[in-house]
């Protein structure tokens, strides 16, 4: 039976398919090192204790009716204070929209400014922009990035594609790379957007920016997170920011996200959220508002959380550097933020002990899953070439004690290729 074209052309995200394979292996009792999911093990990384108690208290107080489409005023005020506190950028409460996580907000941003057939420019690798373009009937314009720029786009690479685009989709810290825009790099892009909008005729649709900053509060010591509005105040009217509780506070299942942006854009996002009913639950909204009332406790949690994530990512990075010193042709980019590490694992063209030649990223992934018992995500899942040898490692479910064994297991598996080990 026929469905809509969008439904018939939409498939299960490959990351979820890999997760299902890994879960089957674990269920069979196989030892497995899973560094795939952009989620948190709540036993390792619980949400703030004060927030837990606040959520429970709100349910006990029976705060379970509709919260209203824009989100509760106290929460929007709390988000406004958080942004001012962390970035010295002011967004009033009516320039904040609350939703059930940041995904509905990103979708509503696309729907607010992108018509079917419009062009959306985005770097690759990047998370889900191809899927959002598909859902909106947009024409995706992927722009390749490289390790030389930490897989972040440059103004020079983006400029040729912006002349007739409706949206530029950016993310920093970036998923899947865990890397962050440098100040000058981002300012050049912001200036480019402003110049493009000055060039367009009066009454035409501007070039808008969807900026996913859901990892920005997890930027590590010594790494600056430059906020676009600080770098280029004139971009404020054209940029929407997606953010929330999911990553910076380990609350992926709590489902409280927020967007910030100019009133006319936030109003459109709010209307779309209202129609699809994607508001965050009222008890969680009230609890998060209560939690954000004390920014000292917020800072204390974030400092500890960043330290633990940085330790794990640094340990894995050092392990890759040690493998490189021992002669393996691997690479890793120094951790900068969030829960991801970018690594290069050279598998393409290698021959396994069974005589199979690994010709594609899917072949390489199969080898890592079935022979090395290691779960990492290839950049090809994020729009990069099928010949890319770069991968995302996530430490969101990582117990620190397994890292040495994971690194040893990976190194042994790499040594077995081409028959180097009997």
Is residue 15 within 8 A of residue 175, CB to CB? The reply is no
Confidence at residue 12, expressed as pLDDT on a 0 to 100 scale = 81
Full-model pTM:
0.95
Confidence at residue 286, expressed as pLDDT on a 0 to 100 scale = 98
Confidence at residue 6, expressed as pLDDT on a 0 to 100 scale = 87
* Beta-carbon contacts of residue 165 (< 8 Å; ≥ 6 apart): 118, 119, 120, 121, 141, 207
Confidence at residue 23, expressed as pLDDT on a 0 to 100 scale = 87
Is residue 211 within 8 A of residue 251, CB to CB? The reply is no
Percent of the chain whose predicted confidence (pLDDT) is above 90: 88
Number of other CB atoms surrounding residue 323 within 10 Å: 21
pLDDT band at 422 (very low <50, low <70, confident <90, very high): very low
- Domain covering 49-294 in this structure, CATH number: 3.40.640.10
Higher pLDDT, 118 or 353: 118
CA distance 247 to 270: 22
CA distance 281 to 279: 6
Domain ranges of the chain: 5-30+300-419, 49-294
Confidence at residue 421, expressed as pLDDT on a 0 to 100 scale = 43
- Does residue 32 surpass a pLDDT of 50? yes
- Domain covering 5-30+300-419 in this structure, CATH number: 3.90.1150.10
pLDDT in tens, 117-143: 999 999 999 999 999 999 999 999 999
Confidence at residue 420, expressed as pLDDT on a 0 to 100 scale = 45
Confidence at residue 10, expressed as pLDDT on a 0 to 100 scale = 85
Give Cα separations from 126 to 7, 178, 286 (angstroms). 23, 11, 33
pLDDT band at 165 (very low <50, low <70, confident <90, very high): very high
Q: Which of 2-16, 372-386, 399-413 has the lowest mean pLDDT?
A: 2-16
Number of other CB atoms surrounding residue 354 within 10 Å: 7
Average pLDDT over residues 42-46: 96
Q: Retrieve residue 222's tokens.
A: 């010594």
- Does residue 164 surpass a pLDDT of 90? yes
- Does residue 70 surpass a pLDDT of 70? yes
Average pLDDT over residues 145-163: 97
* Beta-carbon contacts of residue 134 (< 8 Å; ≥ 6 apart): 6, 9, 10, 140
CA distance 296 to 48: 13
Mean pLDDT, all residues of the chain: 95
């Amino acid at each position: 039976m026929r469905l809509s074209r969008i439904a018939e052309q939409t498939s299960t995200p490959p990351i979820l398919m890999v997760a299902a394979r890994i879960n089957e292996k674990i269920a069979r009792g196989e030892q497995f090192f899973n560094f795939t999911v952009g989620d948190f093990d709540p036993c390792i990384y619980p949400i703030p204790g004060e927030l837990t108690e606040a959520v429970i208290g709100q349910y006990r107080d029976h705060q379970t009716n509709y919260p209203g489409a824009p989100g509760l005023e106290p929460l929007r005020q709390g988000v406004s204070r958080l942004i001012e506190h962390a970035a010295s950028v002011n967004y009033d409460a009516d320039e904040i929209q609350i939703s059930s996580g940041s995904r509905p907000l990103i979708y509503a941003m696309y729907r607010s400014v992108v018509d079917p057939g419009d062009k959306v420019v985005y770097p690759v690798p990047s998370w889900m922009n191809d899927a959002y373009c598909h859902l909106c009937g947009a024409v995706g314009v992927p722009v390749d990035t490289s390790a030389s720029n930490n897989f972040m786009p440059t103004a020079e690479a983006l400029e040729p594609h912006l002349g007739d685009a409706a949206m530029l989709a950016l993310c920093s810290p970036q998923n899947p790379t865990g890397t962050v825009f440098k100040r000058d790099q981002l300012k050049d892009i912001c200036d480019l957007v402003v110049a493009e909008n000055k060039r367009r005729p009066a009454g035409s649709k501007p070039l808008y920016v969807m900026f996913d900053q859901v990892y920005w509060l997890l930027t590590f010591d010594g790494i600056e997170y430059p906020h676009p509005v600080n770098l280029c105040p004139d971009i404020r009217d054209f940029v929407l920011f997606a953010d929330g509780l999911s990553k910076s506070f380990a609350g992926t299942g709590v489902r409280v996200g927020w967007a910030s942006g100019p009133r006319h854009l936030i109003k459109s996002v709010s209307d779309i959220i209202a129609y699809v009913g994607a508001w965050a639950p009222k008890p969680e909204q009230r609890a998060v508002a209560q939690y954000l009332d004390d920014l000292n406790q917020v800072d204390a949690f974030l400092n500890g959380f960043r330290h633990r994530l940085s330790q794990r990512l640094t340990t894995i990075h050092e392990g890759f550097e040690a493998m490189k010193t021992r002669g393996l042709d691997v690479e890793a980019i120094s951790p900068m933020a969030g829960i991801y590490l970018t690594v290069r694992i050279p598998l393409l063209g290698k021959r396994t002990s069974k005589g199979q030649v690994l010709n594609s990223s899917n072949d390489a992934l199969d080898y890592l899953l079935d022979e090395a018992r290691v779960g990492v995500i290839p950049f090809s899942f994020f729009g990069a070439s099928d010949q890319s040898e770069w991968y995302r490692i996530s430490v969101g479910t990582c117990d620190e004690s397994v890292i040495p064994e994971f690194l040893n297991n990976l190194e042994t598996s790499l040594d077995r290729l081409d028959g180097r080990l009997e």
